[in-house]
Amino acid sequence: MPVLHNRISNEELRERMLAETEPRTTLSFYKYFTIDEPQTTRDELYKAFVSLDVFGRVYLAREGINAQISVPQSRVEAFREMLYAFHPALNNLRLNVALDDDGKSFWVLRMKVRDRIVADGIDDPTFDASDVGDYLKAAEVNSMLDDPDAVFIDMRNHYEYEVGHFQNAMEIPADTFREQLPKAVDMLRDDKDKKIVMYCTGGIRCEKASAWMRHNGFKNVYHIEGGIIEYARRAREQGIPVRFVGKNFVFDERMGERISDDVIAHCHQCGAVCDSHTNCKNDGCHLLFIQCPSCAEIFHGCCSEVCKEELALSPEEQRRRRAGRENGNKIFNKSRGALNTTLGIPDPE
């Protein structure tokens, strides 16, 4: 029986990835379709991915698949052919190619079965996730941005919106997608006659969100095909203005893709203009926050003096302090003055 999960330490896997000489391409894709046996499908897909030396994060559920991966450049076409042949629903599936890619986005393959490929909190048996809004291509997005009757809704988390968004887009203040869905309905109740344009990183969240808005009585609902990634790529190819401002947060080691030269966020420690996310170097914290180079040097990559002091302790003393302490990664939320618990780089919920 082949091993269907990783058994090597993260440190060793990361070193192996960094030592690779062949460039990698970072891809993302998703598809809502019915998977009758998610665990069996996961195991078959895992073996196929491993055979092509694919790294990344893949979630499967009865409702479909969601993946962010990296593939050796020489195997991208072989991967595409494998995926298209794997299931009829995946044939000719759009693969979003990373915009600002150094090929070092992932160093291990993690493939998991979940209840949903995007945690949405929806518990309504009458909800039809396939009844989605209309797709918008890049040129149509720019036209909508100039339409006074159109409202752009950012269906990403606050820390994503903070570093980049479409001009005049509305933020739905929340830390997870499941929190955003009911808030979006409430915030837009007086705009039911307007054109509602929803967007996210690669399309998976805004596609489901558009269906949820239609389920709640909104008629003129749109979403950007392929999300920010596909929009920016197509706009550049077509030579039309890219109207997304700042950086697109991504859920891998890069933590961001530069879309425009504008830096619209600030260091969470000193307030300097900066849009570089990092995790606190203290293993007992790992806060996700924005830190400028000056503060990174002053605080040794930590989020506070407390974490800086703890990082300087012996490994044994650090472990002793963490014992019994509720740990996990936290997300800095400056707008609400709160720290919110997650693990590692957060999932795009």
Report, as residue numbers or ranges, the catalytic residues.
Answer: 200
Q: How far apart are CA 333 and CA 158, in angstroms?
A: 7
Query: Which amino acid is it at 215?
Result: H
Which residues on neighbouring strands pair with residue 24, listed in sequence order?
Answer: 72
**Which residues, listed in sequence order, are joined to residue 258 by a DSSP beta bridge?**
247
The tokens for 78 are 């072989």
In a 3-state reduction of DSSP, which class is residue 12?
helix
> At 151, is the secondary structure helix, strand, or coil?
strand
d(CA 214, CA 128): 9
Residues 57 and 111: their CA atoms lie apart, in Å, by 6
The CA distances from residue 197 to 27, 233, 349, in Å, are 24, 19, 19
Spatial CA neighbour of 160 closest among 347, 15, 308, 1: 347
Order across the sheet with 244-248: list the strands.
164-166, 244-248, 257-258
Of 197, 173, 176, 200, residue with least CA distance to 187: 173
Spatial separation of the C-alpha atoms in residues 209 and 222, rounded to whole Å = 10
Q: Is 237 helix (H, G, I), strand (E, B) or coil?
A: helix
Q: In this structure, what DSSP letter does residue 324 have? A: T
Please check whether residue 266 is in contact with residue 273, taking contact to mean a CB–CB distance below 8 angstroms: yes
Nearest-angstrom CA–CA distance, 153 and 198: 5
